[in-house]
Structure 1
Amino acid sequence: MKFRTARWGAAVLSLLPSLALAADMDGAQLSVLWGVPFAGILLSIAIIPLVAPIFWHHHFGKVSAAWALAFLLPFALVFGPGAAGAGVVHALLAEYIPFIILLTALFTVAGGIYIKGNLRGSPALNTGILAIGAVLASFMGTTGASMLLIRPLIRANDNRKHVVHVVVFFIFIVSNAGGSLTPLGDPPLFLGFLKGVEFSWTLTHIFPETLFLVGTLLVLFYALDWWYHHKREEIRPADPTPDDRQFGFDGGVNFLLLAGVVGLVLMSGLWKSDVVFDIAGTEVGLPGIVRDLGLIAITVASLQLTPGSVHADNQFSWGPMQEVAKLFAGIFLTIIPVIAMLKAGVDGPFGAIVRAVTNPDGSPNPAMYFWATGILSSFLDNAPTYLVFFNTAGGDAQVLMTTLAPTLVAISAGAVFMGANSYIGNAPNLMVKAIAEDRGVKMPSFFGYMVWSTGILVPLFALMTWLFFV
């Protein structure tokens, strides 16, 4: 038995060099057909809930796994198990696992805070909650702010006939645009922080764009909510949760745990360590390991310290988190060849996109960077998309913060703002949708949501291009 175990161990170790060599996939050698599984999972998320909602509710995890295998198995046959294994290891260790651990910690901690009391969901109150959420999003992350405020916002409006617009604008403002001012707000900006962008740079350089977008959305929301609120029969006769102006918080220990989450994320960016573990070609640094272990500890502590009554009052369940985890597992795997093809630059299958962001004289075009980063971030994961265009613009943080500051502003704004264009543009979008549906809100389908985003956000982005990037 020992001999057999040693022999298997030697065999596994012998694969590690090939895995390491395969970790840097040459996207220039790939066909666009390798992007079919990624397109398939996106279309599945968009179409199946619309045409077969019961099937999707019970089998979305299997659909996600099927598309992941539709990429991995052919890739292993064509390029070898080493290349496929390296891609999976990198996607899991460098991207998916840290991503899910952070989301789970924020989801759990925010779900352990119950905002007591209930006010009437008037246009002024709803607009005020969205404005507060926009501010909180940059300091506790779009996920944390979304999980903290979406439940009391729905509760405040549960006696109204029209609630969909409230949740849609919440996704626009709190789950996306509000997270643009610090690296803690959204993963793309945190990656820029890790690459050398100063912590306060986004606050000082993207504030005008953020103020314009959030301010305009708040004005539009107030006008729309006022119109709905004054329609006949808008207010239901019976309020499931009658008004109670005695506000307070249960589960207050989670505010301390939330501060711990912020501290761990910040620590992992500031702490520089030479201790790096190479796992099948993927480097995992000690600060990242400490951060992830700390976040797991905070998640467990929140579950242990939060009274059961708080979770019951919040109607806390793991359903939304499970949906995000399963769907994004498939997305992070099937996106592997897509990101590789984008990283290949002008020599890759998507070379036309890279060429489109460059002026004839070779200088970067901020307006095109804004739209290219934004459109891809609407359907790809916005964090690696940010990195692709960060590197396309030179990859030197000092140059991008100074000489090419308009370009870095465009990349950052495109990645964060346009994540609101679809449910899968940013993880909190899907979580907010799932929570709203759990509470009886009939949210729009994938394409139905994009009707909202196309009609409201795209014209604003076009105006922003003329105001800030031309």
Structure 2
Amino acid sequence: MTHRLPRLRALAAFALLLLPGLAQASAVDASAMSALWALPFAGLLLSIALMPLLLPQFWHHHYGKVTAGWALAFLLPYAARFGADAAGASLAHALLADYLPFIILLTALFTVAGGIFLRGNLHGSPQLNTGLMLAGALLASLMGTTGASMLLVRPLIRANDNRPHAAHVMVFFIFIVSNVGGALTPLGDPPLFLGFLKGVDFSWTAVHLPPHTAFMLAALLALFYLVDRHYFSKEDALPNDPTPDSQGFGIEGAVNLLLLLVVVGLVLLSGLWKTQVAFELFGLSLGLPQLVRDGGLLLVIGLSLALTPRAAREQNQFTWGPMLEVSRLFAGIFLTIIPVLALLKAGLHGPFAPVVQLVTGEAGQPVVSMYFWAAGLLSSFLDNAPTYLVFFNLAGGDAQQLMTGLAPVLVAISAGSVFMGANSYIGNAPNLMVKAIAEDRGIRMPGFFGYMAWSAAVLLPLFGLLTLLFFVR
């Protein structure tokens, strides 16, 4: 542990250099910035995509250092070029206004869902597996794609633990439960929660996205049933089931079901509670509803850990590894994306003008279909939560305007960010969690490009149909 102290002291000293000027931070003119400021963000995302393939052992042991290195590759030059005031203000906003609320909610859902053990041994069949997928999709918008994935991935693995072909089950599980199912509420998927933090009404997606979500879920569930039936028909002589049938069906850690309702209530409260009470911290105004929500979620985490029987988490093989990895990677992403957001916000006056032109018609009107594809394809590789923010700001960043006059644009951004987060393992946080848990249970999951072969064959044609049905005017 002592070998980490010099690094921690260095990072702490750098942070202290930024703190004094936070309250007096001045805005930076993004139109004068070069596109080179986006290199740390691109470098971090390329590291996430390629290092696990090319240098798996190095990445497993040092991904935190790689992430911190890319974050400092942005912060140090930014502070030197624009001053500690501007760098400190950007750091405070990214961490306090965006990252911490996001990661606290994700941790709460991960912790609570990981304390619910569904006892009993189901026998995987196309009908049962499809039913579990549907249940997970319905739960995803209520308890988050992370919560639903963590709740059902282990029972689904146990149900299919005697089948020689199970990787496709996990792939479709990522498509359906870890992504598409979370499109209807801010609880469902991280990008929608970030939109909620930016002022989008809690119920807005539940009103505007059901047709798009229903189309995707119906198509994916039908395709999965056909694929699973094909593999199941080739498995006449299944090996002995390693999970005993003597275990009766039931739920352990049921107190976490109540805590899930508390999580939903806290998020709803923070959106519906209107008050002018706010607190200044490092020059940033933090509203009382946000502080109550985040404090309540931290309390939920503590209660879940204290009240859940140890056996429930042990039988779920619950560990903090996936959550620690996601939290560290997202810290770097939320920091290095700061200049990317600023450059896109500069619009036609910034170096990313071609991106702006791509989603803007000749008369200056937004091209809805291009917002869907641009937000979606970038979400496939840049992680869908920060990508949502990029296009939310590119469309003006005014939640009231986007919910009303520009509602088709916000629908396209929301659908693209949520649905196409399934295109790669790095598109959404639960994707990597499900992959890690499945591999830990002995399932040979496809590699990065093998998974993308599945998504290209299954998802891209559906996205094309979705475009023709909903986004072409």
Both proteins in one fold, TM over 0.5? yes
Provide the alpha-carbon RMSD of the alignment: 2.2
Query: Shift of residue 195 of structure 1?
Result: 4.8
Residue 209 of structure 1 corresponds to: 212
3-state SS in 2 of match to 1:283: strand
Q: Does 1:374 align with 2:380?
A: no
Question: 141, 145, 149: which one pairs with 1:142?
Answer: 145
Q: Distance in 1 between matches of 2:189 and 2:206?
A: 13
Equivalence map 1:136-285=2 (5 Å):
136-232=139-235, 235=238, 237-243=239-245, 246-285=248-287
Residue 80 of structure 1 corresponds to: 83
Amino acid at match of 1:449: Y
Bigger mean CA deviation after superposition, 287-296 or 383-392: 383-392
Query: Shift of residue 232 of structure 1?
Result: 4.5
Query: Shift of residue 254 of structure 1?
Result: 0.5
Residue 328 of structure 2 corresponds to: 326
- Tell me the matched-pair count: 457
- Please say if residues 22 and 88 of structure 2, whose CA atoms lie closer than 8 Å, have aligned partners that are also in contact: no
Q: Distance in 2 between matches of 1:295 and 1:165?
A: 35
Runs of 4+ in 1 over 6 A off after TM superposition: 10-13
Structure 1 length as normaliser, TM-score?
A: 0.91
Name stretches of at least 5 consecutive residues in structure 1 with no aligned partner: 1-9
3-state SS in 2 of match to 1:424: helix
Residue 111 of structure 1 corresponds to: 114
Relative to structure 1, is the Cα distance of residues 343 and 176 closer, same or farther in structure 2, using a 3 angstrom cutoff? same
Bigger mean CA deviation after superposition, 240-249 or 83-92: 240-249
Q: Distance in 2 between matches of 1:84 and 1:448?
A: 40
Residue 348 of structure 2 corresponds to: 346
Q: Deviations over 1:400-430 (max 9, x none)?
A: 4444332222122112111112222222222
Residue 16 of structure 1 corresponds to: 22
Equivalence map 1:284-299=2 (5 Å):
284-299=286-301
Structure 2 length as normaliser, TM-score?
A: 0.90
Amino acid at match of 1:92: L
Query: Shift of residue 259 of structure 1?
Result: 0.7
Q: Deviations over 1:333-385 (max 9, x none)?
A: 22221122122222222111112212222222211111122122223343443
Q: Distance in 2 between matches of 1:234 and 1:33?
A: 58
Q: Does 1:129 align with 2:135?
A: no
Bigger mean CA deviation after superposition, 371-380 or 383-392: 383-392
- Please say if residues 341 and 350 of structure 1, whose CA atoms lie closer than 8 Å, have aligned partners that are also in contact: yes
Residue 4 of structure 1 corresponds to: none
Query: Shift of residue 197 of structure 1?
Result: 4.0
Relative to structure 1, is the Cα distance of residues 145 and 234 closer, same or farther in structure 2, using a 3 angstrom cutoff? farther
Relative to structure 1, is the Cα distance of residues 11 and 168 closer, same or farther in structure 2, using a 3 angstrom cutoff? closer
Amino acid at match of 1:93: L
Q: Distance in 2 between matches of 1:13 and 1:79?
A: 15
Relative to structure 1, is the Cα distance of residues 193 and 323 closer, same or farther in structure 2, using a 3 angstrom cutoff? closer
Amino acid at match of 2:430: P
Bigger mean CA deviation after superposition, 259-268 or 395-404: 395-404
- Please say if residues 67 and 330 of structure 1, whose CA atoms lie closer than 8 Å, have aligned partners that are also in contact: yes
Residue 67 of structure 2 corresponds to: 64
Q: Distance in 2 between matches of 1:11 and 1:428?
A: 35
